[in-house]
Amino acid sequence: MKHHTRQRQAILKCLDQAKGPLSPQEILVRAREKVEGMGIATVYRNLKSLEKEGMVRELALSGEGARYEKSGLTHHHHFFCRGCNKFYCVEGCPREISFMVPRGFVMEEHEIVLYGKCSECCGNRPV
């Protein structure tokens, strides 16, 4: 039987409030505002178990270590800002991409990542 701990709830809340997937470190910093003294191991452990339960999804798309987001969101993709090294969720998808699958391969999922600068890092202010 799973227990509902403050730490676990804090992690889920962080993911809820984020505009995009977060790294374990980002989660730690934010979750510590809610649960003082929380350890990084707890973050990793909870992310793993939440992933196993299907509540969270791991994304590894930037050369910066994995990010995590709630699962069950509507189909979407991501934008990685090279200025602030953050991910943002983006809507839309060019549906028809199965023509890219090589003969004999089976596609189960796809992921699209746009790289560039977010509006804040976009010239308005110095990076």
Partner DNA sequence: ATACTTGCAAAAGTTTTGCAGGTTA
Partner DNA sequence: TAACCTGCAAAACTTTTGCAAGTAT
The answer to whether 21 touches 71, Cβ cutoff 8 Å, is: no
Q: How far is the CB of 13 from DNA (least distance, A)?
A: 13
Residue count of the chain: 127
Lookup result for tokens 């796809």: 110
Structure tokens at 109: 């999922």
Q: How far is CA 54 from CA 28, 30, 83, in A?
A: 21, 22, 31
Contact code string over 63-92 relative to DNA, x by CB under 7 A: --xx--------------------------
Residues that bind its own copies (CB under 8 A): 58-64, 66, 77, 79, 81-82, 88, 90-94, 96-97, 99-119, 122
- Applying CB under 7 A, which residues contact DNA? 1-8, 23-25, 35, 37-42, 44-46, 48-49, 65-66
